[in-house]
Structure 1
């Protein structure tokens, strides 16, 4: 049986991608910091799809996280042909008011962990006639987003890194793709403490995690470089190229400027 590794699999897009892969008869190796959430997800997937599921509770911001994941997955390296780097989170607020430690942690999870896991598992993926690496970005990668600054910048890195890696591996068995979802119904805006205006805007454009995951897995196995679910999200990826940057920044700032005081701002799982 083929296996897939999915990080950030407790809920949202990660959980939905795991379900899509389980439906295709993949055994699952799920990693998440949320022990209760990922255990619940695993139990649901086992009952629904009758596939083996194993879980690892791990903080991917730790320097040795990728090595821990490699050791934990060792028994399945001969079957592990899909790796999904989904884990990520964001902070809503003004850069100078947010803890620098928390903001550097975004970089550790969204960038360092993704790079480390990619580097760790590419040699394993190379051993198959065909294998797949999916890095999850965001439509925030296409423009600067004030008040969601570090998150958006980290996703710009993800997109650039993934495209560069895809080119380097173009003659290898490893197909590298970047999933670029927009607003997704993962409760991101509520957990971020964003204002009612932002919530209403998000609700207008939200896609379900299940819909995003279905498009993601289809695009992954089709070998697409960029997978952007939904017409609106594809449009959002295109339009910033045709307007002055300051104009795009003002629009984004109008959406994400926090109404709460800095003491109310909090770290939240991102709506990748």
Structure 2
């Protein structure tokens, strides 16, 4: 490409982040990949370089819960900032269980990654992208953002915060060349359920409606470049996201609790 364009994706070693990176590479974007898992990130870099030899694939190992994370990413991305056209805040994780049974530091760490890092990185990326013509920012929330979810309480709350924040940011930037979107995937066939320590009952329920990361990534990127405000992949997920508007909160909470409640 005579005028190379770059896209940055956090949480891109595997799962939805990797799938989004692959879709962007198909559209001839050079890649800036961030993840905390060095081994898997290097494997993904090798895979994408082999698949797209004409493109550059740069990686940066960073845990987004660390206080200096955004400053480190800012320094790393500096040589590419004039060419950065797309930024994807995808990194995040969940924890399942009773709020009082889960370690509070782990839960606060989840808030740091799922929401605080998104806010900090959005602040950085907006300052870069708004100077680069037609550009795109995508923050990843979840269908859990549309309702309270017992036994997934802090995760759902952190994603609700991402959704609300990104809606507001989109409005504030509506007259600029920067389009801001939210991706709210539902159950996806990734390692999320294992890191969240979900029980067998929950994993079995999720497996019935799982989408593949590749399907989610394709819908995400298509919606991003269509400048959609909210991207919810899959009809069932659209239904699950909007149904709580019309059903008593106690009913939706009982349904969610039945799915996520830990069982022996």
TM-score band, normalised by shorter chain: over 0.9
Aligned twin of 2:235:
231
Q: Give the deviation of 1:190 after TM superposition.
A: 3.8
Q: Give the deviation of 1:88 after TM superposition.
A: 0.3
Runs of 4+ in 1 over 6 A off after TM superposition: none
Instruction: Name the CA distance, whole Å, in 1 between partners of 2:46 and 2:79.
Output: 21
CA contact 1:7–1:32 (8 Å) conserved in 2: yes
Say if 2:257 is the partner of 1:253.
yes
CA contact 2:93–2:192 (8 Å) conserved in 1: no
TM-score by structure 1 length?
0.94
Aligned twin of 1:13:
16
Aligned twin of 1:218:
222
Q: Deviations over 1:63-120 (max 9, x none)?
A: 2211110100111011111000000001111101111111000110011100000001
Aligned twin of 2:49:
46
Q: What are the equivalent positions in structure 2 for 1:1-272 lying under 5 Å apart?
A: 1-50=4-53, 51-260=55-264
**Structure 1: which 5+ residue stretches go unaligned?**
261-272
Instruction: Name the CA distance, whole Å, in 1 between partners of 2:191 and 2:73.
Output: 28
Instruction: Name the CA distance, whole Å, in 2 between partners of 1:117 and 1:208.
Output: 27
Instruction: Name the CA distance, whole Å, in 2 between partners of 1:57 and 1:191.
Output: 19
Q: Give the deviation of 1:194 after TM superposition.
A: 2.5
Q: Which segment is superposed worse, 249-258 or 181-190?
A: 181-190
Q: Give the deviation of 1:191 after TM superposition.
A: 4.2
Instruction: Name the CA distance, whole Å, in 2 between partners of 1:93 and 1:203.
Output: 19
Q: Give the deviation of 1:195 after TM superposition.
A: 2.8
Instruction: Name the CA distance, whole Å, in 1 between partners of 2:19 and 2:49.
Output: 14
CA contact 1:194–1:259 (8 Å) conserved in 2: no
1:73 alignment partner, SS class: helix
CA RMSD, 1 decimal: 1.0
1:103–1:193 CA distance, 2 compared to 1 (3 A):
closer
CA contact 2:93–2:195 (8 Å) conserved in 1: no
Instruction: Name the CA distance, whole Å, in 2 between partners of 1:39 and 1:137.
Output: 26
